Each structure stands twice: as C-alpha cells, then as structure tokens.
Structure 1
Amino acid sequence: MVFKKAIHKGGGSMLRLGVIGTGWITKQFVEAAQENGSWELTSVFSRSIEKAEQFGREFSENVKGYRDLHQFFSEGNFEVVYIASPNSLHFEQSRQAILAGKHVIVEKPACSSPAEMKVLQRLLRRYNNVYYFEAARHFHELNFLKIKETVKQMDTIQGATLTYMKYSSKYDDFLAGNEPNVFSLNFSGGALQDLGVYLVYDAVSWFGLPDSVSYTATKLRNGIDGKGLALLNYSGYTVTLNVGKIANSYLTSEIYGLRETIIMDNAADLADVQLVDGATKRILTQKTAANPMAAEVSDFTSILQDPLSLDNKQKMEDWLAVSVQVNRVLYDLRSSANIVFRADKEFR
C-alpha cells in the first residue's frame, strides 16, 4: 500500500496524523509535530467521543473524533498513528494499525513482553511497507548520542549508576485505595515499565545487551513495583538502575571510566552532562528544544517523508532491534522479581 501525501509549501510532504489517547503526552507529541511544520492532525480516538472531539478542537476544527477503533483505522484520514494508551493496549492497537497499513509511533514501552513483540515483528515482515517506531524520546536526542559516542571512546568502562525516580501524581490516588493504570498489573504498569524503560534504553544503547540481569522491587499492595533496584551484569562491570514512582531522587547519574567519569543531571532528560577527569571538566551537552519530543518527531518526519528509501528502512530496522533488546531486558528484570502482568498470562 502506497499513501498519497499532500505536498507541504516548504517542499516536504505533509504527514496526516491520527492519535490514540488524549492525555498530556499526546498533546505534547501533537504540539511537537505541529512545531515541526510537516504534520496535520486529522483523527483522534478515545473511549469517550466527547474527549476525542474536545482534544481535536484544541488543534483544528477539521479533526474528527472516534470511539470505535475499527472505524478509526478503516475510515480515519491518516497514514501515521501515534499510540499513547495504557501500556497493556499498545500491542493490540499496534497490531491493528499494521494490519490497516498505518505507520506506527507507539509510546514506550512498545509491548508488555517479547511474545507480543515477536508477533509484531512477524507482521512487519509481511507488511514491509509499514514503519514502526517506539517513541523513546531521549534515544533521538543529540545529548544521548553524544554520551554513546563518548562511552565508545573511553578505554575502560568500570560500570554505571543510572537514576530516574520521580513521585507520580497518580500515587496519591493509589494510596486512597484506587488502582490507576500506571500502578496496575492489568495494564502492564509499574516503575520499571514507566520510568525504568528510559534507563534500560541508556544501558542497552551505551553498553550493549547485558549478560544477566536482576531486579529487587519494592512491591505495592497489588504486587506492582513502586520502585526498585536493577543490576545489569556485563563482562567486568555492573550497571545499576535506580528507578521509582513513589519517591523523588535528586541524585545524579554516572558512568565510570578509569580516571574519567561521565556525570548526568538526569539519565532520562540529559540536560546537563559533563565529562570529569580530576579538576578537568568538559561539557558534553547541547541546548535541547523546549518540547522534549522535538528530536524524535524530527527523526520520524525525515523517514516517513521518504518511506521508499532503503537507508530509512535500515534505520528503522536498527531502531527496532534496540526496541526488541530493551523489551527483552525489561521482561527479564521483572521476571526476576516475579512481577506477572495479565498480558503475560494471555500469551501462555
């Protein structure tokens, strides 16, 4: 299936966008897409048609709302879908999108398990004209890539400690006796899936696939992980991941060389990164865009505006390979802590 796109006045092709979900993260993505100048929001899916239509009106009077997913994919005037639903729904919605011939940008984590990921990989081989991206925003930022380049240049790696612990606005609701999606086993939630995915992307991208992993989780009343400590074991060193959604941490993150150390203000935001060797400090970071999704939107745009390029197809395949590895590490970590999602049971 080949999609016809309107030609943008600037010379590139306009990309018609459909979105699933109407939360703050979807709004941030659409804003980044509009700032890019090559996207047009046309369709919104929500379980509430009122929410879908209200969300659409924030951007254009021409956006159509849907509450039926089949109708959204069959009638919606878009070629790219951005999926920002609860984690457990990512797989099935991505599967339907691929079957409908839509390019997919799915929020992290892309899937609940390697079993789900394998199904999507098989589908993508059949529908090889469809592009599929996991929206791990920091993976596309220049500062992330600069750290990866610097790590490769270090003669010795002796480990790393990466921290991302942020008190969730949904935790008060959980403490009140409710079960928001982000703290639910039924919706593939928890600290590791929500914030730990950033740290796993860091580790896999900068150091490669670990030899073995383990996760010591602080479990809440329903068995979900509120926070935890993960160990990723490599040949000769260990990478420690400190992650949580029920407390705040203000610790920096570090990568240890021999005498030099890479110091990050935050292992997910990467706004301030320095290479320190004794009294010598070198700034590694560049100023980032105000919208943290700008870098990934720019990357997705350049590929989707030229979908027949073999180089672009290879780039997507390379990114997908990292997504598959991250998915595997996340699964192995929570399996080591005996955290079982409903989605796991459905694939047994």
Structure 2
Amino acid sequence: MIKLGTIGTNWITERMIEAAHATGDYLLTAVYSRHEASGEKIANGHGDVTVYTDLDQFLSADDVDVIYIASPNVLHHSQIIQAIQHDKNVIVEKPAVLTQYQFQNILDELSLHPQVHFFEAARNVHMPAFHVVADYLNDVDGIDGADFTFSQYSSRYDKVLNGETPNVFNPQFGGGALADLGVYPVYDAVGLFGVPERLAYYPTMISTGVDGKGTAVLNYGDFDVTLNFSKISASTHNSEIYHGREIITFDSAGEVTEASIIRENQRQILSPLYGKNPMIPEMSDFARVLNDPDNEQNQADYHRWLEQMQNVNLVLSRLANFAGIEYPTKLEED
C-alpha cells in the first residue's frame, strides 16, 4: 500500500482521499494542517491517521510515501521543493506552480532526488474519454479547429460581491480563473495538439484584481483552439473538435467524462459516461508508476506526463504574460 499524506483541507482533498481509497492502492496515514481541528476533520473516519500542525515533522514522517498538496496556489512551489528534499513523492493540485522559473526550480531539485516522482492532478487528461478522443484524432487527417469550455460559478464569488476576498479570488494567493479552471482546457489543448505557435488571452478582471473569467485563443498554424473558462458564470456548453462534417465532442473541458462523434445530426458514442469519482483514473495512473517505477511503460508514461506538465506551465505563463497578469512567487506575510 502507498502511504499517503495530505496538505490542504478543502473539499478537493476529501474527494481525492475517496478516489485514492477506491483504487485499493493507497492508505491515508498523515494529514498536515496549520489548525488541528481542520486536520482532524480530514482524518476523521480513515482509521489510524496522524494529524500534524508542524510542516517539517509531517515531511519527516516515516509513514508517508507520497504527499498530496492542495494548499493555495502560491504555496505550492515551496511545499513541493520541501517535500522533494525529504524524498517524498508529490501529487499537487493544479496549477502545479505559477511561473516557468518555479517549474525549472522543481526540475533541478528532482535531478538531485532521482527516485522521487512528481505529478500534477490534472484529472481530465487521465480520463478514459480523453484517451479515446486522443486515439481517434491520431487517425484523423487534420482538423478545422476546436472550442473547449469549462465554466462553473464559484459560490465564493458571492463573498466577492459582498466585499470579501477569498483565496481563489485573491491575487496574493495566485487566484483567478486562468490559474484555476483555465488549467483544464489548456491541458486538453496541449495533450491533444501540443504547444501552440501563437496565443492570446482576453480576461475579464474583477474587483479583487484577478481574472474572473476569460477567453484564450491558441493558434496551431492551420487551426485555432478557443478556450472559454469562468468562475463568475456557468455554462452547459460541451467542448467540440471540428473535422469536416464531424464533430468530436465531450462534456466540459475539465471533466471529460464522456465523448461522442456527431455526423449529420447522428451521434455515435466513443466513450460512455464515467459515473464514478473522476479522480480515480489519475490516482490509479500515479499508483501504477509508484508501485512499479522500473517498468518501461510506466517510466515512459511518467516522463510524458512530466513533459506535458512543463508544456502546460509554459502555455499558462505565456497566456498570463499576454494579459499582463503577474503571479506572486511567495505569500507576503502581514
């Protein structure tokens, strides 16, 4: 069993623990939180789990093989580096880090700890439907473009409207739509088509100083991919890839739970609805590598994910730069 420790006490951590246990490969052994009560809430119901309020003690724990990080974006870089330095494998919620410099810094640290593995929890590209779409496109002679949409109204935007600044909308924490929901459609585009030749990002800025929503255009020479994502409005639009008379379609760009082809109003199911916890496929993929790191296929997959992660970080950085968005490199303490 892979012994799992967690940083972060949001709902996504609870969902990840549920997915990890569903794979049968992980056992939650440790939880870190600055506040013991929050840590106890995450640990409750999972057996013998140690709750830490001291980060160094948590990172030094012998009963932790991999650390899942779901803290505010601005804290990811320092926590990833510390975990690697303690020879712990890392699974980090998207975005892994906020700048290209930070990503290179992590690669440099990984080179000093070659036994450590580093994963980004971009669940959409590990879904069965995503793989089916990717395989289908491998046999397609060119496409005419694509539109990827992932818009979910955040309940925390209500706090913004009431004059508050929650972390996900706080520039000091690396908040905003691009660094949150926008990561998913960027992963879809990079995973299916690679790094674009040119790009642009047109954000809608909100009162807290971050982008609440935005539209990005990625140019691949012969076609464009349009990305729409929002935390201040919702959408029911599917994501579509255009190929002559065909439309390859899947649900929201962040979920990719099912996929179809539409030809002249006739729908053919490519991948049926995945009705289980959507974090199970990614956690299964990561466990496969951690349990058998010397397997050639596992090594190839891991290095492909790492390269894809770096390319996504590159595209996100270029999009932010185009829009004049600057992310913090560390949390400024009062």
CA distance, structure 2, for counterparts of residue 267 and residue 248 of structure 1: 13
Q: 1:163 aligns with which of 136, 149, 152?
A: 149
Q: 1:116 to 1:75 in 2, by over 3 A?
A: same
- Shift of residue 307, structure 1, vs aligned partner: 2.5
Verify: 1:31 aligned to 2:32, yes or no.
no
Q: 2:280 aligns with which of 282, 288, 294?
A: 294
What is residue 5 of structure 1 aligned with on the other side? none
Verify: 1:72 aligned to 2:91, yes or no.
no
* Counterpart code for 2:155: S
Q: 1:66 to 1:317 in 2, by over 3 A?
A: same
* Counterpart code for 1:278: E
* Counterpart code for 1:324: Q
CA distance, structure 2, for counterparts of residue 331 and residue 228 of structure 1: 15
What is residue 323 of structure 2 aligned with on the other side? 337
8 Å Cα contact 2:216/2:227 also seen in 1:
yes
CA distance, structure 2, for counterparts of residue 190 and residue 25 of structure 1: 17
What is residue 152 of structure 1 aligned with on the other side? 138
CA distance, structure 1, for counterparts of residue 294 and residue 251 of structure 2: 39
Q: 1:76 to 1:174 in 2, by over 3 A?
A: farther
CA distance, structure 1, for counterparts of residue 181 and residue 203 of structure 2: 14
* Counterpart code for 2:183: V
* Counterpart code for 1:40: L
CA distance, structure 2, for counterparts of residue 165 and residue 311 of structure 1: 35
CA distance, structure 1, for counterparts of residue 61 and residue 141 of structure 2: 55
> Tell me, what secondary structure is at the counterpart of 1:98?
helix
What is residue 167 of structure 2 aligned with on the other side? 181
8 Å Cα contact 2:171/2:328 also seen in 1:
yes
Task: Please give the residue correspondences for 1:217-296 in structure 2 after superposition, counting only pairs within 5 Å.
Answer: 217-296=203-282
Verify: 1:102 aligned to 2:88, yes or no.
yes
Q: Which ranges in structure 1 are unaligned for 5 or more consecutive residues?
A: 1-13
* Counterpart code for 1:57: N
- Shift of residue 50, structure 1, vs aligned partner: 1.8
> Tell me, what secondary structure is at the counterpart of 2:314?
helix
Deviates more, 1:228-237 or 1:305-314: 305-314
CA distance, structure 2, for counterparts of residue 333 and residue 40 of structure 1: 38
Q: Which ranges in structure 2 are unaligned for 5 or more consecutive residues?
A: none
Q: 1:58 aligns with which of 45, 49, 56?
A: 45
> Tell me, what secondary structure is at the counterpart of 1:284?
strand
8 Å Cα contact 1:156/1:258 also seen in 2:
no
- Shift of residue 47, structure 1, vs aligned partner: 1.2
- Shift of residue 304, structure 1, vs aligned partner: 0.8
Verify: 1:215 aligned to 2:201, yes or no.
yes
> Tell me, what secondary structure is at the counterpart of 2:142?
coil
> Tell me, what secondary structure is at the counterpart of 1:186?
helix
State the percentage of identical aligned residues. 42
CA distance, structure 2, for counterparts of residue 66 and residue 249 of structure 1: 40
8 Å Cα contact 1:186/1:343 also seen in 2:
no
What is residue 98 of structure 2 aligned with on the other side? 112
* Counterpart code for 1:321: E
The TM-score with structure 1 as length reference comes to 0.92
- Shift of residue 342, structure 1, vs aligned partner: 1.7
CA distance, structure 2, for counterparts of residue 127 and residue 312 of structure 1: 18
> Tell me, what secondary structure is at the counterpart of 2:51?
strand
Deviates more, 1:300-309 or 1:138-147: 300-309
What is residue 22 of structure 1 aligned with on the other side? 9
What is residue 8 of structure 1 aligned with on the other side? none
* Counterpart code for 2:182: G
What is residue 300 of structure 2 aligned with on the other side? 314
CA distance, structure 2, for counterparts of residue 231 and residue 176 of structure 1: 32
Q: Deviations over 1:130-189 (max 9, x none)?
A: 011001111111101111111222212111111111100110111111111111111111
> Tell me, what secondary structure is at the counterpart of 1:81?
strand
Q: 2:27 aligns with which of 40, 46, 65?
A: 40
CA distance, structure 1, for counterparts of residue 236 and residue 156 of structure 2: 20
CA distance, structure 2, for counterparts of residue 236 and residue 307 of structure 1: 39
Deviates more, 1:325-334 or 1:32-41: 32-41
Q: 1:172 aligns with which of 158, 181, 194?
A: 158
What is residue 10 of structure 1 aligned with on the other side? none
8 Å Cα contact 2:160/2:208 also seen in 1:
no
Q: Deviations over 1:103-147 (max 9, x none)?
A: 101111100111100000111111100011001111111101111
- Shift of residue 24, structure 1, vs aligned partner: 0.8
